[in-house]
Amino acid sequence: MPTWHMISFQDSASPSMEQLTMFHDITMTIITLITSMVAINMAFLSFYKLTDRFLLQEQTIEIIWTACPVFILLIIALPSLQTLYLLDDPFTPNITVKAVGHQWYWSYQYSDFPGLDFDSYMTPTSSLTNSPRLLETDNALPLPVHSQIRMLTTGADVIHSWAMPSLGVKADAVPGRLNQIMFSTKRTGIFYGQCSEICGSNHSFMPIKMEIIPMKNFLTWVVSMV
What is the tens place of the pLDDT at every residue in 53-98? Answer: 556 667 777 788 888 889 888 888 888 888 887 777 667 888 999 9
Residue 199: half-sphere exposure toward Cβ, Cα within 13 Å: 28
Strand partners, 121: none
Residue 184 Cα distances to 64, 106, 107, 200, angstroms: 44, 21, 21, 31
Q: How far apart are CA 219 and CA 100, in angstroms?
A: 23
Cα gap 46→174, rounded to integer Å: 54
CATH topology of domain 95-225: Immunoglobulin-like (2.60.40)
Angle at 118 between CA 115 and CA 120, to 5 degrees: 165
Under 8 Å CB-to-CB from 221, ≥6 apart: which residues? 142, 213
Domain map of the chain by residue range?
15-88, 95-225
121: three-class secondary structure by DSSP: coil
Domain boundaries 15-88, corresponding CATH code: 1.10.287.90
| Whole-number Å distance between alpha carbons of 19 and 79 | 9
Rounded to whole angstroms, the Cα distance separating 121 from 72 reads 47
Please determine, for residue 191, whether its predicted confidence score (pLDDT) is greater than 60: yes
Mean pLDDT of 120-144: 90
Q: Could you tell me which of 90, 98, 215 has the C-alpha nearest to residue 146? A: 215
Give pLDDT tens digits for 33-48.
999 988 987 887 777 6
Could you give the angle at the alpha carbon of 166 between the alpha carbons of 160 and 172, nearest 5°? 20
Q: What is the pLDDT of residue 40?
A: 86
Query: Fold match between 15-88 and 95-225?
Result: no
Q: What is the pTM of this model?
A: 0.80
Please check the confidence at residue 200 and state whether its pLDDT lies above 60. Answer: yes
pLDDT band at 217 (very low <50, low <70, confident <90, very high): very high
